[in-house]
């Protein structure tokens, strides 16, 4: 009878121990590598740790707000829920502490802050963004405005300003207006020195028509210093040389006359010449008025009349002598 014997190895072989150690080293290296990669990734993000905490808090608060609002809506008390949520937000630091204004160049920035001061220290959910915007739109310089929240505590106001187009000469002052004719603010003569000066009744409503007129002769446009709306029906243009062009009534007729004048000036150098007034109100002709020319004509006429009278007197004297004889 054959007897079998089983031989068992005691302990772990050196090969298995080495394999386990190698695996452990690889796992450790992988963990260290992963940790350093995550660390480098966090370092690349340009956000401070405090800001990240605030962002996480905002997300948590937002979830709480949504949940509270949903529960309250089902319960039929949305107003109460809104007040409670706003209170929680304020206590968490989400209240207006700063106002950031952008896009202001000519407008007095203090007026923008005044429009937003009513929301200071209010909880962010209670800030009336449209109300602030409407108050801003009441300012003469503001063409448009956008109001937004920047969590946790900043109200951001972006302003689109109106652009000054000309100055209107009123009875005792000059007032800046934009291209739509909206009054902006009074200005001194020094500030309005290089701007187009407008005058005439209701001239603010004629700006669009004046723009179309000047566009007809772009070469003359930079030389126009003043534009007077005469009789609520036609324009007189005064150039920076001090000379005045009197245009006819009607948009098309006036534009055609201005183009004709531009051509004449190009060939005959009218601007800067002796004539101070160019009258183009007649359809088929232009009249030139030269200062002192009328006085010279009157003087010449007076001299001619005196000479004629002297000649008549000299002719009458011989006849009178014959009668006496």
| 83 pLDDT more than 70 | no
Q: Residue 44: inside a domain, yes or no?
A: no
Same domain membership, residue 284 and residue 222: yes
pLDDT at 125: 76
Q: Residue 176: inside a domain, yes or no?
A: no
Residue-wise pLDDT for 270-296, tens only, equals 999 999 999 999 988 899 999 875 555
> Model's pTM, two decimal places?
0.61
Same domain membership, residue 287 and residue 208: yes
Q: What is the CATH number of the domain that holds 278?
A: 3.40.50.11690
Longest dimension (CA), the chain: 208
Residue of 55, 89, 50, 49 whose CA lies nearest to 69: 89
Find the helix or strand (DSSP H, E) in which 210 lies: helix 207-215
Same domain membership, residue 268 and residue 236: yes
Residue 158 CA to residue 149 CA, distance in Å, equals 11
Same domain membership, residue 229 and residue 151: no
Same domain membership, residue 122 and residue 59: no
Q: Residue 189: inside a domain, yes or no?
A: no
Q: Residue 278: inside a domain, yes or no?
A: yes
Same domain membership, residue 143 and residue 216: no
Identify whether 268 is preceded by a cis peptide bond (ω within 30 of 0). Answer: no
138-169 burial code (b ≥16 CB/10 A, e <16)? ebebbeebebeeeebeebebebebbebbbbbb
pLDDT at 311: 57
Q: Residue 226: inside a domain, yes or no?
A: yes
Residue of 207, 196, 216, 229 whose CA lies nearest to 262: 216
- Sequence-ordered list of residues with C-beta below 8 angstroms from that of 320, at least 6 positions apart, any chain: none
The last residue of one of the domains, among 73, 90, 107, is: 90
Same domain membership, residue 124 and residue 103: yes
Q: Residue 178: inside a domain, yes or no?
A: no
Same domain membership, residue 122 and residue 76: no
Q: Residue 15: inside a domain, yes or no?
A: no
The last residue of one of the domains, among 68, 90, 112, is: 90
The last residue of one of the domains, among 41, 75, 90, is: 90
- Sequence-ordered list of residues with C-beta below 8 angstroms from that of 227, at least 6 positions apart, any chain: 196, 197, 198, 199, 203, 210, 235, 236, 237, 238
Same domain membership, residue 137 and residue 78: no
Structural domains counted in the chain? 3
Q: Residue 133: inside a domain, yes or no?
A: yes
Residue-wise pLDDT for 137-146, tens only, equals 999 999 999 9
Same domain membership, residue 103 and residue 76: no
- Is 12:21 a contact under the CB 8 Å cutoff? no
| 158 pLDDT more than 90 | yes
Same domain membership, residue 280 and residue 214: yes
pLDDT at 300: 54
pLDDT at 37: 55
Residue of 146, 105, 151 whose CA lies nearest to 129: 146
pLDDT at 28: 65
Residue 223 belongs to domain spanning: 200-293
Residue-wise pLDDT for 14-31, tens only, equals 666 666 677 667 656 655
Residue 217 CA to residue 67 CA, distance in Å, equals 66
Same domain membership, residue 64 and residue 111: no
């Amino acid at each position: 009878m054959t007897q079998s014997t089983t031989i068992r190895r005691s302990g772990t072989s050196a090969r298995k121990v080495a394999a386990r150690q190698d695996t452990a080293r690889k796992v450790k290296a992988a963990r260290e590598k992963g940790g350093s990669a995550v660390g480098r990734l966090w370092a690349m993000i340009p956000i401070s740790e405090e800001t990240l905490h605030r962002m996480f808090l905002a997300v948590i608060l937002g979830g709480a707000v949504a949940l509270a609002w949903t529960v309250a809506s089902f319960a039929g008390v949305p107003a109460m829920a809104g007040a409670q949520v706003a209170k929680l937000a304020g206590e968490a630091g989400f209240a207006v502490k700063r106002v950031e204004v952008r896009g202001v160049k000519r407008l007095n920035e203090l007026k923008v802050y005044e429009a937003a001061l009513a929301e200071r220290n209010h909880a962010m959910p209670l800030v009336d963004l449209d109300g602030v915007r409407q108050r801003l739109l009441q300012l003469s310089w503001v063409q448009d405005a956008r109001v937004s929240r920047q969590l946790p505590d900043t109200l951001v106001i972006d302003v689109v300003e109106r652009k000054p187009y000309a100055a209107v000469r009123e009875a005792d002052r000059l007032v800046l207006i934009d291209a739509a004719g909206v009054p902006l603010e009074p200005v001194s003569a020094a500030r309005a020195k290089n701007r187009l000066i407008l005058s005439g009744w209701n001239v603010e409503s004629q700006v669009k028509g004046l723009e179309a007129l000047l566009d007809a002769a772009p070469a003359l446009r930079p030389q126009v210093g003043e534009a007077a709306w005469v009789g609520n029906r036609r324009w007189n243009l005064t150039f920076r040389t001090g000379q005045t062009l009197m245009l006819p009534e009607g948009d098309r007729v006036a534009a055609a006359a201005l183009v004709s004048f531009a051509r004449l000036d190009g060939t005959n150098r009218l601007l800067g010449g002796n004539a101070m007034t160019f009258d183009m109100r007649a359809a088929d002709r232009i009249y030139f008025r030269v200062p002192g020319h009328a006085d010279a004509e009157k003087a010449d006429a007076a001299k001619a009349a005196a000479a004629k009278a002297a000649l008549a007197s000299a002719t009458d004297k011989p006849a009178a002598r014959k009668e006496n004889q």
